[in-house]
Amino acid sequence: MRLGAWLENARTAIRALPEEPITSLYAIIAHYLEKPAYWPQAHPEFELNEGQVFQLNLQLKKLMGGEPLPYIIHHQEFFGLDFYVTPDVLIPRPETEILIEIALDNLADHPQPALIADVGTGSGCIAVTLAVHHPIARILATDISSKSLAVARRNCVNHQVRDRVFLLQTDLLSSVRARFDLICANLPYIPSEKLNSLEVARHEPRLALDGGKQGLEVIAHLLTQSADRLNPGGLMLLEIEFSQPEAIRALIHGIFPAAGITIVDDLNHLPRLAIIQR
């Protein structure tokens, strides 16, 4: 079968998924055949053998079944960098790039080497991105999941920051006694009762999504731990759900009564990030 014929059949199939762009098919082909992203469109005459047709159909079936494209091709772009992802970690999203921008702005104002914690690192996208863009920083990236840390380790190696990002399997910062200039975290913040109704919970790890009854149990735990782990003048950045600004303010005030608190909206004008300035 020629590639153009397979593409035509696949285009017909994904019409059942109105929100799935045709570029997803090009990405699947390029990934499986190990070709550049533009290659599938330029070579409709390429002859696929029987094994290749079988494998592409398998990937198409996954896409039709709702599996996110980044898990199929093991790739997601974040802040201009390419990250390896598996179903063991959350897919990096543009909303989290706001955290990176604010962190880098803060680090630029403090040119001395900073000690940073990325708590619940998952794929390592936050830790690796900060290490790439701020080469003098030292970063501790923690996660309770050994499978997540294996993905993060691969991304550290791919981006050549393994000597500056230190990976630790632990519950948040429970086994850490260091004090940090910057603590970043994209922790589970979805209330448990909401999860079953969300598409994201069908494929992405529940451990990285379920924030407990109010969605703030894990975040509250980190805030308590951070009381003696955030340096004076230090900054803490926490990604939150849009419904949580007032609840997170109350939590923060209870643990950091003198801290400055700012809530930043995402590109959809929804509350997304809590900034704590000690």
Structural domains in the chain plus CATH codes: 3-73 (1.10.8), 76-277 (3.40.50.150)
The bridge status of strand 271-277 relative to strand 230-239 is antiparallel
What is the pLDDT, as a whole number, of residue 64?
96
Q: State the pLDDT confidence band at 109, using cuts at 50, 70 and 90.
A: confident
Over residues 229-256, the pLDDT tens digits come to 999 999 999 999 999 999 999 999 999 9
* pLDDT for residue 239: 98
- Tell me 119's DSSP state: E
pLDDT band for 102, please (50, 70, 90 cuts): very high
Please report, for residues 10, 41, 178, the alpha-carbon distance to residue 22 in angstroms, rounded to integers and kept in the order given.
Answer: 9, 11, 48
pLDDT of residue 173: 98
Would you state the torsion angle of the CA atoms of residues 66, 69, 74, 80, taken in this order, to the nearest 10 degrees? -140
Which residues fall within 8 angstroms of residue 273, CB to CB, at 6 or more apart?
98, 99, 102, 237, 238, 239, 240, 263, 264, 266
**In which band, very low, low, confident or very high, does the pLDDT at 84 lie, cut at 50, 70 and 90?**
very high
Residue 160 CB partners (closer than 8 Å, separation 6+) = none
Please tell me the predicted confidence (pLDDT) of residue 115: 96
- Overall average pLDDT of the 166-176 stretch: 97
Q: What is the model's pLDDT at position 48? A: 97
Average pLDDT, the chain: 96
The predicted pLDDT at position 111 comes to 75
Per-residue confidence at 110, pLDDT binned at 50, 70, 90? Answer: confident
Per-residue pLDDT reduced to its tens digit, 23-78: 999 999 999 999 999 999 999 999 999 999 999 999 999 999 999 999 999 999 99
User: What would the mean pLDDT of 5-15 be, rounded to a whole number?
Assistant: 96
Nearest-angstrom CA–CA distance, 67 and 70: 9
Residue 55 Cα distances to 27, 44, 62, 66, 261, angstroms: 14, 17, 11, 17, 51
pLDDT, one tens digit per residue, over 183-228 is: 999 999 999 999 989 989 999 999 999 999 999 999 999 999 999 9
pLDDT of res. 133: 97
Residue 103 pLDDT greater than 90, yes or no: yes
Q: What is the pLDDT of residue 176?
A: 96
Instruction: Report how far residue 126's alpha carbon sits from residue 120's, in angstroms, rounded to the nearest whole number.
Output: 10
**Mean pLDDT value across residues 168-189:** 97
